[in-house]
Structure 1
Amino acid sequence: MSKNYKYCHGGGHLMKITIGISDDSRIQVEFIKDCIEKMNLSYEIDFVLSFTGKELLDSSKIFDIVFLDIEMGDVNGIEVGKEIHKKSPNAIIIFITGYKQYALEAFEINSFQYCIKPVSITKVEGLVNKAIIRLNEKKAYEDKINSLTIKNRDEITTISYDDIYYIEKCWKKVKVHCKNDTYEMYCSIKELIKKIDKNIFHLCHQGFIVNISKVKCIKGNEIFFKEKFNSTIPISRRYKKQVINAFEGYLYNNS
């Protein structure tokens, strides 16, 4: 049976990472967990410990880092790694095993490291540090591609897509409306819609772009927003069908 443990070091709000450890040797699982805890990382760590591959796959967690053995009796660790990447596509998988012959298969599923037992405390610490660096690089990249950068004179502001409700045309500028702030930039609606994520943002009118994830409902020719956001924006006949389809798709995928 898999076990969940939370470990925190330091105070304040800490970034959370979920680490899975799976090996048919209880000693090996506890050893890796103890090594990580003794590192005093500035993260809230959610451990998922298991002694079979199936137990790890039965977890509902989305993993950041996973330590896997390969021959665990019930299922091959390579297959476990493949399944983990389906549910947690950004998971960093580290194989620690007693078998050299699976190395090629391990790297074919984009594993991060392949290590032969036994491993030392120093080795585990090095693996964790490298994995965290990779996690931070991935997060920085995702933040960059999931945000809008606004440049005005000497000021540059980066806004997460998730903070934007809608974008409005205003002469030669556009206004970016967030829950608590509004930002302006020199740009046309047509130029902007080419740059931002078309799965999230949709033209709903020649003068408006809507973030479909912020829509509460569409009534008549108006779009209403969630979270007591006290604005409505128009939706024109030209764009109504595609916006409704996008909204229904969003509701279906997030139900």
Structure 2
Amino acid sequence: MRIAIIDDEKPSRNELTYLIKKVLPDASVSEFASGEEGLKAIAEEPFDLLCIDINLGDISGISLAVAARKFIPEAEIVFATAYNNYADKAFEVEALYYLLKPFSEGKVRQMLEKYNQKHEKNIYDTRPLLSKISLYVDKKIVLLEISSIIYIESQNRVCIVHTKGKSYKDSNPLSYFEERLAENGFFRIQKSYLINLNYAVELYPWFNNTYCVKMEGFEDAVLPISRNQIKKLKNIICI
């Protein structure tokens, strides 16, 4: 489950992240210190849940929620704020929950359980790691070794799964593979690319202070890394 916390107060962000991870250890939580940062991330990343403060300093949390609805309409919105007089606005954007500061573990758990109930899935379950993933190819189901996948790219609503010896087309969205392969060393470098970090061989500078990654066996392929993701990637690989 991918969660974004957008709040200009660092202590509030840290506290909410701590409580979410305490209740849901496997959640992927990203923090953003302004409405502008949050909006850029929302435009690039498929979050499941957005926790937005009402007063962000640069832009209104309500305006940000309205914009988020356009970028990722399937995402749930929670207003995590100290202001209790915006319930009518929360109703207008169909917010899932209104989480008042100071946060508590009980309220955070209640928020996550409401998400759980609405989407009819148990977000607390952990699935066993499997060595293969199924792809639908030419009306057949191909069982592919996960360890053989170098990277996956999204093109025209179709995902292309690149392995050492062959490429396969599958109709599932890239977000499906991102969630399914999260525990197998895969990382989404940009909205159109998911890479197997075990096969990353080089990061190199690209245009406008961005970076690209070179993958083993696909050295000629240009795989750009978004500005938001390069920081996370460097933390993962300890640079």
Q: TM-score, normalised by structure 1?
A: 0.47
2:168 maps to: 227
What secondary structure sits across from 1:100 in the alignment?
coil
- Structure 1 segment 134-213 matched on structure 2, within 5 A: 134-136=118-120, 163=136, 165=138, 177-180=139-142
- Does residue 51 (structure 1) correspond to residue 28 (structure 2)? The answer is no
Q: CA deviation at 1:40?
A: 4.5
2:108 maps to: 124
Instruction: Give deviations 1:156-206, integer Å, cap 9, x for gaps.
Output: xxxx9x8363xxxxxxxxxxx32459xxxxxxxxxxxxxxxxxxxxxxxxx
2:69 maps to: 85
CA 1:69–1:40 in structure 2 vs 1: closer, same or farther (change >3 Å)?
Answer: closer
Distance 1:68 1:48 in 2: 12
1:20 maps to: 4
CA 1:134–1:164 in structure 2 vs 1: closer, same or farther (change >3 Å)?
Answer: farther
Instruction: Give deviations 1:60-93, integer Å, cap 9, x for gaps.
Output: 2111011111011100001111111212111111
CA 1:125–1:138 in structure 2 vs 1: closer, same or farther (change >3 Å)?
Answer: closer
Percent identical pairs in the alignment equals 28
> Match for 1:23: what amino acid?
D
The structure with the largest alpha-carbon Rg is: 1
| 8 Å contact kept, 1:21–1:47 | yes
Q: CA deviation at 1:227?
A: 3.3
Structure 2: gaps (5+ residues): 124-133, 144-156, 160-166, 170-191, 193-239
CA 1:91–1:138 in structure 2 vs 1: closer, same or farther (change >3 Å)?
Answer: farther
Distance 1:92 1:62 in 2: 11
Distance 1:105 1:23 in 2: 18
Distance 1:47 1:38 in 2: 12
Distance 1:73 1:99 in 2: 14
Distance 2:11 2:97 in 1: 21
> Match for 1:62: what amino acid?
P
| 8 Å contact kept, 1:48–1:56 | no
2:95 maps to: 111
What secondary structure sits across from 2:3 in the alignment?
strand
CA 1:96–1:213 in structure 2 vs 1: closer, same or farther (change >3 Å)?
Answer: closer
| 8 Å contact kept, 2:3–2:29 | yes
Distance 1:91 1:227 in 2: 29
Q: CA deviation at 1:26?
A: 0.8
Structure 1: gaps (5+ residues): 1-16, 140-159, 166-176, 182-211, 215-225, 229-253
Instruction: Report the more deviating stretch, 129-138 or 108-117.
Output: 129-138
Aligned length: 139
1:219 maps to: none
What secondary structure sits across from 2:54 in the alignment?
coil
